[in-house]
Amino acid sequence: VVIHTRKIVDPIVGLKLTGRPGKSHVISAMAALDRSPKTLENRSENAQFGIVRYKKLLNDDSYVGAVATTRELGNDYSRAFGADSRFRLSNTTSIQCDILGSRIQNGGGTVTKGYASDVVFRYYTDLYQGDISFNTTSRNFDLATGFIERQGIRSVNAGMERTLYPSIKFFKTLKPAYWGRISKDLFYDLSETSHKFFLSFEMPRLTEFFGNYRRENEIFSGLKFDRSGWEMFCSSRPLKQ
């Protein structure tokens, strides 16, 4: 997530603008002065946030865009810049590409640089939904204006869901699905895998059931942990028509 407004904890003043200088051009900008570093970092300065987003609309829901963000605090800063795009290949398929670079200086010292990239191919119909993606987040990539789940990882993800309409009236829809991931931890040069199998179905009276089984492991501090397990969830509103 490139922009996560909760990173602005205690704003003194802020400004947000959105405009369309043309039918196919969208520009958004936000600036804020944040009081929080005074107490959280024992600093006398206030943090300055700035975000600019541009999007060029193309045919259908395709677009190309660019974004730049910064957080300045005294001599320290965290800046990011990048581009993103989505192209509609057909009524059922699309491809999305994102790349973002970061440049950070802490304590007025060494500058670190990092990057993150993401390519996603999607296929969607009334009966099938699937995607495959390729993601990389370098070890030094970071965002002071956003949120990243994990640094130093490269992964391939794939998933598919099938929607069935059984002839038995007891079931309205039945949806089996699979999602898998193969990743490499760039800090420890170790691999991890995840395989998840889902089954959900909808019944009359707004009754829904969801269950999944996962077979997966995860790398943490150079150690591999087994995170396999299963879960089930059911909800119903029997008095609702």
191: pLDDT strictly greater than 70 = yes
Inter-CA distances, 209 with 191, 204, 206, 214, Å = 33, 11, 10, 17
pLDDT tens, residue by residue, 150-188 = 999 999 999 999 999 988 878 889 999 999 999 999 999
Mean pLDDT is lowest, of 6-10, 102-106, 163-167, 229-233, for 6-10
Question: Which residues have C-beta within 8 Å of that of residue 241, sequence separation ≥ 6?
Answer: 205
pLDDT of residue 144: 86
19: pLDDT strictly greater than 70 = yes
Distance CA 139, CA 102 (A): 11
pLDDT of residue 86: 97
Report the percentage of the chain scoring pLDDT > 70.
95
Instruction: Tell me how crowded residue 115 is: count the other CB atoms within 10 A of its CB.
Output: 15
Query: Given CA atoms 122, 128, 129, 130 in this order, what sign does their dihedral have?
Result: negative
38: pLDDT strictly greater than 80 = no
40: pLDDT strictly greater than 90 = no
Specify the length of the chain in residues. Answer: 241
Residue 139 main-chain phi, psi, to 5 deg: -65, -30
pTM of the model: 0.84
pLDDT of residue 113: 95
pLDDT of residue 37: 57
pLDDT of residue 121: 98
Q: With cut-offs at 50, 70 and 90, classify the pLDDT of residue 204.
A: confident
Closest CA to 142 of 69, 83, 234: 69
pLDDT of residue 11: 86
